[in-house]
Amino acid sequence: MNLLDTLLRCAAALVVFLTFPLIIGQTEHKVMAHMQGRLGPMYAGGFHGWAQLVADGVKFVQKEDIVPAEADRRVFQLAPAVSLLPYLFVLIVIPVGPNGFVGQAMDAGLFFVLAVTGIGVIGKLMAGWASANKFSLLGGLRTAAQLMSYELPMVLAAASVAMAAGTLSLPGIVDAFHWWWIPWQALGAFVFFTAGLAELQRPPFDMPVADSEIIFGAYTEYTGIRFAFFLLSEYAGILVISALTAVLFLGGWHGPMHDQLGWLWTILKTFALAFVVIWLRVTYPRLREDQLMRFAWTGLIPLALLQLALTGVVKVAIS
Protein backbone atom coordinates (compact mmCIF):
# COMPACT_ATOMS: atom_id res chain seq x y z
CA MET A 1 0.00 0.00 0.00
CA ASN A 2 1.55 3.30 -1.09
CA LEU A 3 1.47 6.58 0.81
CA LEU A 4 -1.22 8.14 -1.39
CA ASP A 5 -3.54 5.16 -0.91
CA THR A 6 -3.04 5.32 2.85
CA LEU A 7 -3.78 9.05 2.91
CA LEU A 8 -6.94 8.56 0.87
CA ARG A 9 -8.16 5.84 3.23
CA CYS A 10 -7.46 8.01 6.27
CA ALA A 11 -9.27 10.92 4.61
CA ALA A 12 -12.28 8.68 3.97
CA ALA A 13 -12.27 7.68 7.65
CA LEU A 14 -12.19 11.39 8.56
CA VAL A 15 -15.20 12.11 6.33
CA VAL A 16 -17.10 9.24 7.96
CA PHE A 17 -16.10 10.56 11.38
CA LEU A 18 -17.41 14.04 10.56
CA THR A 19 -20.72 12.90 9.05
CA PHE A 20 -21.93 9.63 10.60
CA PRO A 21 -21.99 10.85 14.24
CA LEU A 22 -24.09 13.82 13.11
CA ILE A 23 -26.46 11.43 11.31
CA ILE A 24 -26.77 9.41 14.52
CA GLY A 25 -27.47 12.61 16.46
CA GLN A 26 -30.17 13.63 14.01
CA THR A 27 -31.64 10.13 14.13
CA GLU A 28 -31.77 10.31 17.92
CA HIS A 29 -33.78 13.54 17.70
CA LYS A 30 -36.28 11.92 15.34
CA VAL A 31 -36.58 8.56 17.09
CA MET A 32 -37.09 10.17 20.50
CA ALA A 33 -39.58 12.61 18.99
CA HIS A 34 -41.65 9.72 17.63
CA MET A 35 -41.40 7.60 20.78
CA GLN A 36 -42.09 10.42 23.24
CA GLY A 37 -44.36 12.66 21.19
CA ARG A 38 -41.91 15.59 21.09
CA LEU A 39 -42.96 18.37 18.75
CA GLY A 40 -39.87 20.52 18.19
CA PRO A 41 -37.60 17.99 16.42
CA MET A 42 -40.46 17.06 14.07
CA TYR A 43 -41.25 20.57 12.79
CA ALA A 44 -38.03 22.63 12.87
CA GLY A 45 -37.43 23.89 9.34
CA GLY A 46 -40.44 22.24 7.77
CA PHE A 47 -40.39 18.72 6.31
CA HIS A 48 -39.85 16.25 9.15
CA GLY A 49 -37.84 18.78 11.13
CA TRP A 50 -34.82 18.63 8.81
CA ALA A 51 -33.31 21.82 10.29
CA GLN A 52 -33.16 20.64 13.92
CA LEU A 53 -29.50 19.62 13.70
CA VAL A 54 -28.61 22.87 11.90
CA ALA A 55 -30.39 24.90 14.59
CA ASP A 56 -28.51 23.05 17.33
CA GLY A 57 -25.19 23.69 15.59
CA VAL A 58 -25.88 27.41 15.19
CA LYS A 59 -26.94 27.62 18.83
CA PHE A 60 -23.70 26.04 20.08
CA VAL A 61 -21.50 28.22 17.85
CA GLN A 62 -23.21 31.43 19.01
CA LYS A 63 -22.88 30.70 22.72
CA GLU A 64 -20.04 32.30 24.66
CA ASP A 65 -17.08 30.07 25.51
CA ILE A 66 -16.68 30.49 29.28
CA VAL A 67 -13.81 29.18 31.41
CA PRO A 68 -14.42 29.32 35.20
CA ALA A 69 -12.06 31.63 37.06
CA GLU A 70 -10.84 28.85 39.39
CA ALA A 71 -10.50 26.24 36.66
CA ASP A 72 -7.23 24.76 35.39
CA ARG A 73 -7.54 26.62 32.09
CA ARG A 74 -5.27 24.52 29.88
CA VAL A 75 -6.66 21.16 31.03
CA PHE A 76 -10.22 22.51 30.91
CA GLN A 77 -9.77 23.59 27.27
CA LEU A 78 -8.05 20.40 26.14
CA ALA A 79 -10.55 17.98 27.67
CA PRO A 80 -13.14 18.05 24.82
CA ALA A 81 -10.46 17.24 22.21
CA VAL A 82 -9.05 14.41 24.34
CA SER A 83 -12.57 13.01 24.61
CA LEU A 84 -13.29 13.26 20.88
CA LEU A 85 -10.12 12.42 18.93
CA PRO A 86 -9.55 8.80 20.08
CA TYR A 87 -12.73 7.73 18.28
CA LEU A 88 -11.30 9.11 15.03
CA PHE A 89 -8.19 6.96 15.44
CA VAL A 90 -10.33 3.89 16.14
CA LEU A 91 -12.40 4.38 12.99
CA ILE A 92 -9.25 4.20 10.88
CA VAL A 93 -8.71 0.52 11.79
CA ILE A 94 -12.34 -0.73 11.69
CA PRO A 95 -12.88 -2.71 8.45
CA VAL A 96 -15.93 -1.69 6.42
CA GLY A 97 -15.74 -4.19 3.58
CA PRO A 98 -13.68 -7.08 2.19
CA ASN A 99 -10.51 -6.87 0.12
CA GLY A 100 -8.73 -4.32 2.28
CA PHE A 101 -11.64 -1.88 2.63
CA VAL A 102 -10.16 -0.40 5.83
CA GLY A 103 -8.26 2.77 6.61
CA GLN A 104 -5.25 0.95 8.07
CA ALA A 105 -5.18 -2.78 8.75
CA MET A 106 -3.29 -3.77 11.92
CA ASP A 107 -2.27 -7.24 13.08
CA ALA A 108 -3.19 -6.27 16.66
CA GLY A 109 -6.15 -4.10 15.66
CA LEU A 110 -8.41 -5.35 18.45
CA PHE A 111 -5.78 -4.54 21.07
CA PHE A 112 -5.32 -1.07 19.53
CA VAL A 113 -9.08 -0.39 19.55
CA LEU A 114 -9.57 -1.41 23.18
CA ALA A 115 -6.57 0.64 24.29
CA VAL A 116 -7.50 3.81 22.40
CA THR A 117 -11.20 3.84 23.30
CA GLY A 118 -10.19 3.93 26.95
CA ILE A 119 -8.32 7.19 26.32
CA GLY A 120 -11.57 8.96 25.42
CA VAL A 121 -12.80 8.55 28.98
CA ILE A 122 -9.72 10.42 30.22
CA GLY A 123 -11.12 13.58 28.58
CA LYS A 124 -14.14 13.35 30.85
CA LEU A 125 -11.92 12.86 33.88
CA MET A 126 -9.90 15.93 32.85
CA ALA A 127 -13.09 17.96 32.50
CA GLY A 128 -14.40 16.91 35.90
CA TRP A 129 -11.15 17.67 37.72
CA ALA A 130 -10.26 20.91 35.91
CA SER A 131 -13.67 22.59 36.25
CA ALA A 132 -13.19 23.51 39.94
CA ASN A 133 -16.80 22.51 40.54
CA LYS A 134 -17.85 19.91 43.10
CA PHE A 135 -20.59 18.54 40.86
CA SER A 136 -18.14 18.19 37.97
CA LEU A 137 -15.62 16.48 40.24
CA LEU A 138 -18.27 14.06 41.47
CA GLY A 139 -19.22 13.28 37.88
CA GLY A 140 -15.55 12.69 37.03
CA LEU A 141 -15.14 10.31 39.97
CA ARG A 142 -18.24 8.40 38.93
CA THR A 143 -16.83 8.22 35.40
CA ALA A 144 -13.56 6.75 36.73
CA ALA A 145 -15.38 4.13 38.82
CA GLN A 146 -17.62 3.23 35.91
CA LEU A 147 -14.65 2.91 33.54
CA MET A 148 -12.79 0.53 35.85
CA SER A 149 -15.90 -1.58 36.38
CA TYR A 150 -17.01 -1.97 32.76
CA GLU A 151 -13.64 -2.08 31.01
CA LEU A 152 -12.96 -5.60 32.31
CA PRO A 153 -16.11 -7.33 30.97
CA MET A 154 -15.68 -5.50 27.67
CA VAL A 155 -12.11 -6.79 27.27
CA LEU A 156 -13.10 -10.32 28.30
CA ALA A 157 -15.94 -10.40 25.76
CA ALA A 158 -13.61 -9.16 23.01
CA ALA A 159 -11.02 -11.77 24.03
CA SER A 160 -13.64 -14.47 23.53
CA VAL A 161 -14.24 -13.64 19.88
CA ALA A 162 -10.48 -13.17 19.28
CA MET A 163 -9.94 -16.66 20.74
CA ALA A 164 -12.61 -18.05 18.44
CA ALA A 165 -11.05 -16.44 15.35
CA GLY A 166 -7.45 -17.10 16.40
CA THR A 167 -6.33 -13.56 15.61
CA LEU A 168 -6.34 -10.00 16.95
CA SER A 169 -6.73 -8.52 13.46
CA LEU A 170 -10.21 -7.06 12.91
CA PRO A 171 -10.34 -8.04 9.19
CA GLY A 172 -9.04 -11.47 10.22
CA ILE A 173 -11.85 -11.86 12.75
CA VAL A 174 -14.45 -11.01 10.11
CA ASP A 175 -12.82 -13.39 7.60
CA ALA A 176 -12.97 -16.20 10.16
CA PHE A 177 -16.66 -15.53 10.95
CA HIS A 178 -19.28 -18.22 10.42
CA TRP A 179 -23.01 -17.69 10.87
CA TRP A 180 -23.23 -20.33 13.58
CA TRP A 181 -20.99 -18.03 15.66
CA ILE A 182 -23.95 -15.74 16.36
CA PRO A 183 -25.66 -18.05 18.90
CA TRP A 184 -22.27 -19.25 20.15
CA GLN A 185 -20.98 -15.72 20.84
CA ALA A 186 -24.36 -14.15 21.71
CA LEU A 187 -23.49 -13.88 25.39
CA GLY A 188 -20.22 -12.14 24.59
CA ALA A 189 -22.00 -9.78 22.21
CA PHE A 190 -24.46 -8.79 24.94
CA VAL A 191 -21.65 -8.17 27.44
CA PHE A 192 -19.53 -6.20 24.96
CA PHE A 193 -22.38 -4.00 23.76
CA THR A 194 -23.70 -3.35 27.27
CA ALA A 195 -20.25 -2.52 28.64
CA GLY A 196 -19.71 -0.21 25.68
CA LEU A 197 -22.90 1.68 26.54
CA ALA A 198 -21.70 2.05 30.12
CA GLU A 199 -18.33 3.41 28.99
CA LEU A 200 -20.14 5.95 26.84
CA GLN A 201 -22.35 6.84 29.83
CA ARG A 202 -25.45 6.26 27.78
CA PRO A 203 -28.79 5.59 29.51
CA PRO A 204 -29.48 3.61 31.57
CA PHE A 205 -25.80 3.89 32.59
CA ASP A 206 -25.66 7.69 32.74
CA MET A 207 -25.17 8.23 36.47
CA PRO A 208 -22.01 10.37 35.92
CA VAL A 209 -24.22 12.97 34.19
CA ALA A 210 -27.34 12.55 36.34
CA ASP A 211 -29.02 15.96 35.98
CA SER A 212 -31.29 15.40 39.00
CA GLU A 213 -28.27 14.91 41.31
CA ILE A 214 -25.13 16.53 39.89
CA ILE A 215 -26.52 18.88 37.20
CA PHE A 216 -24.57 17.45 34.24
CA GLY A 217 -21.52 15.93 35.86
CA ALA A 218 -18.16 16.66 34.26
CA TYR A 219 -19.83 18.85 31.59
CA THR A 220 -21.51 21.26 34.03
CA GLU A 221 -19.14 24.20 33.43
CA TYR A 222 -18.88 23.78 29.66
CA THR A 223 -20.68 26.00 27.16
CA GLY A 224 -20.79 26.62 23.44
CA ILE A 225 -18.64 24.69 21.02
CA ARG A 226 -16.65 22.86 23.72
CA PHE A 227 -19.86 21.40 25.12
CA ALA A 228 -20.85 20.46 21.55
CA PHE A 229 -17.56 18.55 21.22
CA PHE A 230 -18.52 16.41 24.21
CA LEU A 231 -21.88 15.64 22.63
CA LEU A 232 -20.17 14.85 19.33
CA SER A 233 -17.78 12.50 21.13
CA GLU A 234 -20.78 10.67 22.56
CA TYR A 235 -22.31 10.18 19.12
CA ALA A 236 -18.91 9.18 17.71
CA GLY A 237 -18.65 6.67 20.54
CA ILE A 238 -22.05 5.23 19.60
CA LEU A 239 -20.78 4.82 16.03
CA VAL A 240 -17.58 3.11 17.19
CA ILE A 241 -19.23 0.73 19.67
CA SER A 242 -21.95 -0.20 17.18
CA ALA A 243 -19.40 -0.77 14.39
CA LEU A 244 -17.17 -2.86 16.64
CA THR A 245 -20.10 -5.00 17.78
CA ALA A 246 -21.11 -5.52 14.14
CA VAL A 247 -17.55 -6.44 13.13
CA LEU A 248 -16.75 -8.69 16.09
CA PHE A 249 -20.04 -10.50 16.67
CA LEU A 250 -22.35 -10.01 13.65
CA GLY A 251 -20.02 -10.82 10.78
CA GLY A 252 -19.24 -7.29 9.62
CA TRP A 253 -19.49 -7.26 5.85
CA HIS A 254 -20.92 -10.80 5.58
CA GLY A 255 -24.31 -10.90 3.91
CA PRO A 256 -25.88 -11.49 0.48
CA MET A 257 -23.47 -10.46 -2.31
CA HIS A 258 -20.89 -9.44 0.30
CA ASP A 259 -18.13 -9.32 -2.31
CA GLN A 260 -19.85 -6.35 -3.97
CA LEU A 261 -22.00 -4.91 -1.17
CA GLY A 262 -20.00 -5.82 1.92
CA TRP A 263 -19.65 -2.18 2.98
CA LEU A 264 -23.46 -1.83 2.86
CA TRP A 265 -24.00 -4.72 5.29
CA THR A 266 -21.49 -3.27 7.73
CA ILE A 267 -23.21 0.12 7.66
CA LEU A 268 -26.70 -1.38 8.01
CA LYS A 269 -25.67 -3.49 11.01
CA THR A 270 -23.93 -0.50 12.59
CA PHE A 271 -26.94 1.78 12.28
CA ALA A 272 -29.31 -0.96 13.46
CA LEU A 273 -27.26 -1.21 16.66
CA ALA A 274 -27.15 2.59 16.94
CA PHE A 275 -30.96 2.54 16.82
CA VAL A 276 -30.93 0.07 19.72
CA VAL A 277 -28.76 2.51 21.69
CA ILE A 278 -31.33 5.27 21.14
CA TRP A 279 -34.20 2.92 21.92
CA LEU A 280 -32.64 1.98 25.27
CA ARG A 281 -32.39 5.66 26.19
CA VAL A 282 -36.12 6.11 25.70
CA THR A 283 -37.14 2.82 27.30
CA TYR A 284 -35.22 2.28 30.53
CA PRO A 285 -34.80 4.50 33.60
CA ARG A 286 -31.40 5.46 34.99
CA LEU A 287 -29.76 2.95 37.31
CA ARG A 288 -28.71 4.00 40.80
CA GLU A 289 -24.96 4.19 41.37
CA ASP A 290 -24.92 1.04 43.51
CA GLN A 291 -27.05 -0.84 40.96
CA LEU A 292 -24.76 0.26 38.17
CA MET A 293 -21.61 -1.03 39.90
CA ARG A 294 -23.27 -4.24 41.08
CA PHE A 295 -24.45 -5.01 37.55
CA ALA A 296 -20.86 -4.91 36.27
CA TRP A 297 -19.19 -6.97 39.00
CA THR A 298 -21.90 -9.53 39.72
CA GLY A 299 -23.57 -9.63 36.31
CA LEU A 300 -21.42 -8.85 33.29
CA ILE A 301 -18.05 -10.14 34.51
CA PRO A 302 -19.36 -13.65 35.38
CA LEU A 303 -21.16 -13.76 32.03
CA ALA A 304 -17.97 -12.73 30.20
CA LEU A 305 -15.98 -15.43 32.01
CA LEU A 306 -18.68 -17.97 31.14
CA GLN A 307 -18.40 -16.96 27.48
CA LEU A 308 -14.62 -17.39 27.61
CA ALA A 309 -15.01 -20.87 29.09
CA LEU A 310 -17.61 -21.80 26.46
CA THR A 311 -15.33 -20.56 23.68
CA GLY A 312 -12.46 -22.64 25.03
CA VAL A 313 -14.64 -25.77 25.16
CA VAL A 314 -15.93 -25.26 21.61
CA LYS A 315 -12.43 -24.59 20.24
CA VAL A 316 -11.11 -27.77 21.82
CA ALA A 317 -14.11 -29.78 20.60
CA ILE A 318 -13.79 -28.69 16.95
CA SER A 319 -9.99 -28.87 16.76
| Sign of the alpha-carbon dihedral angle for 105, 93, 304, 262 | negative
Q: Where are the domains of the chain?
A: 71-318
Cis peptide before 153 (omega within 30 of 0): no
Q: Tell me 299's DSSP state.
A: I
Residue-by-residue DSSP string for 88-136? HHHHHHS--BTTTBSSS--TTHHHHHHHHHHHHHHHHHHHHHHT--HHH
Contacts of 259 (CB under 8 A, 6+ apart): 98, 99
The pLDDT value given to residue 3: 67
**pLDDT value, residue 155:** 93
pLDDT for residue 145: 83
Cβ-based neighbour number of residue 25 at 10 Å: 20
d(CA 19, CA 15): 6
Q: Using one digit for the tens of pLDDT, what is the confidence trace for 205-229?
A: 888 887 777 778 788 888 888 888 8
CB 80 within 8 A of CB 123: yes
According to the model, what pLDDT value does residue 156 have? 94
Prediction pTM value:
0.90
Q: Tens of pLDDT along the chain (319 residues)?
A: 566 766 776 677 677 767 888 888 888 888 888 787 777 677 776 666 777 777 777 888 888 888 888 888 889 989 998 888 888 888 888 988 887 777 777 888 899 999 898 887 888 888 888 988 888 888 888 888 888 889 999 999 999 999 999 999 999 999 999 888 889 899 999 999 999 999 888 888 888 887 777 778 788 888 888 888 888 888 999 999 999 999 999 988 888 877 778 888 999 999 999 999 999 988 888 888 888 889 999 999 999 999 999 999 988 888 7
Question: Do 207 and 122 touch, CB atoms closer than 8 A?
Answer: no
